[in-house]
Structure 1
Amino acid sequence: MGKLSTRDLRKLLNCIKKDERVVIPPMPGFDSGVHLLGDKYLVVSTDPCLGVPEKWFGYLLIHYAASDVALFGAKPEFCTINLLGPLSSKPQTFQKIMKLACSAAGELRLAIVTGHTGTYEGLEAPVGVCTAYGTVEKSKLVTPAGAKAGDCIFCIKPVALETIVNFALTNKDLASKLFGRKRTEELADLVPMQSCVNETLLLAETGGVHAMHDATEGGLTAALNEMAEASGVGFKIEFENIPFCKEALKLQQHFKLSDIQLLSMSSTGTFLASVSEEAKSEIEKILRQKNIAFSILGQFTADTKKVMSKREAQTLFPRVARDPYTKILSGKV
C-alpha cells in the first residue's frame, strides 16, 4: 500500500501557500478539499484507480472520488478523468473502461467534463485518476473534524469488506477453500459496496451527523484515529461491536494475523459517522428502513485517550495501522 506517512505527507504539503478562498486545504486525514464558490462550498476530491479487474475498473474509477465528495455532505456533480496505459494498450481497453465509467457516472448524474488519455513507457497496467466536484450549502458541510464528545460512533457496512471481496476476485481457489465456492462467487459480485455515495448523502441529509470518514487503507485503525485527531477528541469502543466480515476472521486465522492487522484491513465503502445522541434513534431507523448494515462501536470522548474494550478488559486502541491488504492478496503474509 503506497500512502505516505503522516509525517512525510506534512513535509510534502509545507510548500503550499495559504489562500483565503480555500476553506479546507490538503492535510492528513482529509480525503477532500473545500473552497469557496459564490455563496456555497465546492468540495473536490481526486483518487487513483489501479490494480482492479477490468470488469470493475470504470465503476470504481468514478466511485472512489465521488464517495470522498459525498462524505463531506456534497452531491457529486462533475468530474474529470485521466486514463493512462502502457504502450501496448489497445484502444478497445480504454473504450471498455470508459463505457463502464460513463455508465457509473450516469447513475450518479455526474457529468464528465474533461480528461486525458494516453499510453506511456514505464506503465505495466492501466492507471486511472478521477477528480470529482460537488457543491454544498455552507451550513451543511460535513468533515472528519466535526466529531463531538458524547457522539455515538456508527460504523456503516462491514469492516474488511474490500479486502475480502478483492481476495475473492484475485485468489479464487484459496478463497473457495476458505469460504466455500458459492460464497466466493457471491463476494465477487459485491464490488459495488466499495462505494458509499448513497449512504453518506442519506446521512448528511438526515441531520445530527457531525463527522464522517471512510475506512479505506488502514481500515478502522486509520479511520478512527484520523477522525479523533482531526476533531480533538478521544473515544471508547467495544471490540465485540465491530462488524467484521466473518470471512475476515477466517483470513485472520489462516494467515495468523494479529488483532491490529484485523482492525487495519482495507475497507473501502465502509465508513464511520459521528452522530449526536439526539439523532441516534432517527439514524438507526433510517438505516434499518434502507436495509443498510451498521453497528454502534461506542462514543467519542472529551478525554483524548483512545480506548478499546475486549471481553471487559480495556486496552489502548492501536495508533498505527498495519494493513495486510497487499500481502493477503498475494496469498503470502
Structure 2
Amino acid sequence: MDFFEHGGRHGGANITYDFSANINPLGMPDAAAQVLQKEWKRAEGYPEETSRTLRRAIALQWQAEEEQLVCTNGASELIYAVVRALRPAAGLIASPSFSEYERALLAADCPVKCYPLQRENGFQPEEGLLAFLEQQPSGSLLFLCNPNNPVGNCMDPKLWERVLRLTARKKIWLAADETFLPFCREYENISMKRFYKDYGNLLIINAFTKLYAMPGLRLGYGICADREVIRQIRRQLPAWNVSVPAQLAGLAALQEEGYQERTIEYLEKERVRLIEGLQKRDKLIYRIYPSRANFIFFEAEPGLDGRLSEKGFAIRSCENYRRLGPGDFRIAVRTREENEALLKALDALEKEG
C-alpha cells in the first residue's frame, strides 16, 4: 500500500458501496446542483482569477475581509501552497494524521518532525504536545487536524488555546485543518474562528469538499488575519486555479439555508446507530474509537477490507498511516440504507467464520 494513498480509490467493478471516502451522505445541496445544470455554459469563459465573489461571500460568513482569504483547488492545493509560501524551518505533525501534510513538506525538502499520539489514550493529544513544541525552532509550521483524520476525535479546546498561545510566542506557524469540523454541533465553540483575528500565525484550512459533498469540483479555502501571509500563498497558485463550476457551486452552497443543521442532525443519529451496530459484530470488530466527525475509526480482524471488497464494500484500511497497522480501519457514515447493508455484510462474514 502506498504511504500517501487515500480513500475513494476503491477500484474494482464489483464495488457497490463506498465507505472509504468521508463525504456528506446527504449529497450536494440542491442549490449547488441546480446552478451547475443551469449555468454550465459559463464554463466556456475564464473564471474569476482570485475567486473574488466567492471570497466576499465566505468573508461575510466569517466576518472577515476578503484580503484575509484565499480560495484553492481543494484543501490539498492550499496545503502545498502554504508550505511553499512559508518555507518553514521544520514541519511539525501529530501522527497519525492526514498524510498530505507530510507529503507537502517532503515535496519542499522540509524536515519533518512527528509528535506521536498514543493508542492507549485513544490517539488524543495531551500535555506532551506542548513540551514537544517548546523544543521546536522558530519559523516551524505545525499542522493539526480537528477532528483528526482518521481517528475522528477533537482536541480539548483548552489545549488548543494553549497550543495557539505557545506557537505565537515561539513564532511557529499553526495551520488548523478544520475540514471536518462543520459536522460537529459544537463548531462555534471549538473552531479557531474565535481566535484568528488576534493571532497572525494562525491559518485555518477549510473546504467545501466534505460538508457540501463536492469532491469532484475541488474547492477549498484558507483564512489568516495576516494579509501578507495570504498574499504569499496566492503567489504560489496558478492563475484561474478555481474553476467556474466550483465557484458557482460554492456560492450556491453558502446560500443553502438549513443544510448544515440537517446534516448534523442526521449524523448524530446515524453515527450512533452505526457504532452500536458495529459493537454487536464483536467477532470481527475489536475496538471502536469515539468520533465527532462523519466517519468512524475501529480495530478489527486484519484483512477485513479485502473480505468486504468481495461483497461489494470498500472501506479504508489505515495501515499506511504513521503509527497504525493491519487491522486499523475507517468507515464513513453513509445513508441509512448503505449502513444497514454494511452491517448485514458483516453478519455474513461472521457466519462464514
* TM bracket (short chain): under 0.3
What TM-score results when the alignment is normalised by the length of structure 2? 0.26
What TM-score results when the alignment is normalised by the length of structure 1? 0.27
Q: Which has the higher contact order (CA 8 A, sep 6+)?
A: 2
